[in-house]
Amino acid sequence: MKIHEYQAKELMQRRGLAVPIGRVARTVDEAVEAVRPIVEASGNPVVVVKSQIHAGGRGKGRFVEHPEVAGVNVVTAGVAGGVKAAEERVRELAKTMLGSTLVTVQTGPGGKQVNRLYVEQGIDIARELYLSVVLDRSTGRNVVMASTEGGMDIEEVAHATPEKILRESVDPATGLLDFQARRMAFALGLTGEAHKNGARFIRALAALATDLDTDMVEINPLVVTKGGQVMALDGKMSFDNNALFRHKDLLEMRDLTEEDPAEVEAGKFGLSFIKLEGTVGCLVNGAGLAMATMDTIKQVGGEPANFLDVGGGATTENVTAAFKIITRDASVKGIFVNIFGGIMKCDTIANGVVEAVHQVGLKVPLVVRLEGTNVALGKKIIDESGLNVISASDMKDGARKIVELAGGAK
């Protein structure tokens, strides 16, 4: 699960991590009303208006409806014109940004609609750094990564100058130790008060990541102010969905408007749905079979449009819902049901498919491969349903048939 920048900063602030003063705004009036208290509290007439979407690259992003406007805008009107001038400029920006579609390198060409803004104080920046805590699934440990190349695309830095990426592994038994945080602060070139603040910030961020079961916390840039304060100017945070049952408060931060509607609906039925770019819809049971099915489809020249994993304990109602979700995907030109019955029984899948087709119809070819528990009963249900279903003898046979029926190999 991902959250917005302003929510990530709320979580950081609760743990004593320094972040700029800011307010979230869902309307133009809320954006304007945020300016005066921010300017008065910070003493800085400069404010920043940031689009809140679940994607990076907002500063370089542009709105489809207003290509002259960036996703993040620094408002300096208050320097010469006072708070009133800053408020008027924020009003203009909010009218333009709210409800418009922002395209960044991470949104894809379709972009994302901006429904919230974050109005934040301007900061006198002395240096920009990079800091993140990422879960390394190969070791089962968090890894703190930092770089002096803050504000830049970190993937490009890692590719061109990997020696500029510093790493410290976090032992789950002890957390990030003081000497590790100090060593990283030294390597970042921090001295004096900035070094103390930087080491404290790094250690606190590592503790936050462990306590909240994050997949990733990224601050780019982490800034050092002219007074030696170390502060998160940006903030991204995502969480391990399997650990969210331990963090009910985090679930309240979920913004469903930022997620794929099909994935949200699948989640309501305990299903896992992932949208992809091809033309073959895949209904499977189990993550391993999902991977094998997609590999086989690609091996015979096709491209999966999605995969929907019904898991091992799905009911007929869940399978019916799964089939409906797949058939609503406009890019699907054919559906491959590939089930290996273990705990999941083949007759349950068969009943779900038949029920769904009776409810929503079948406008694309359907290939079904059933194997395992109650396979004979499952095939009998399909055969006697009167549906135009093509049977497959095994996974590769099914993949070949559905790729051909969905338009052929690429």
Residues identified as active-site = 130, 218
Among 363, 296, 295, 292, CA closest to 326: 363
Query: What one-character DSSP code corresponds to residue 241?
Result: G
Distance CA 264, CA 391 (A): 31
320, burial (CB in 10 Å: exposed 0-12, middle 13-18, buried 19+): buried
For 108, counting Cβ atoms within 10 Å of its Cβ (0-12 exposed, 13-18 middle, 19+ buried), the class is exposed
Orientation of helix 192-211 relative to helix 178-187, angle to 10°? 130
φ and ψ of 13, to 5 deg: -65, -35
* CA-wise closest residue to 168 among 118, 206, 212: 206
Q: What would you report as the CA-atom Rg of the chain, rounded to the nearest whole angstrom?
A: 26
CB-based contacts of 376: which residues, under 8 Å, 6+ apart?
Answer: none
User: What does the block give as tokens for 137?
Assistant: 């699934």
Distance CA 288, CA 270 (A): 17
Which residues partner with 222 through β-bridges? 129, 232
Token look-up 């790729």 returns 403
User: What is each CA distance from 335 to 112, 260, 332, 409, in whole angstroms?
Assistant: 29, 20, 7, 15
The Cα diameter of the chain in Å comes to: 80
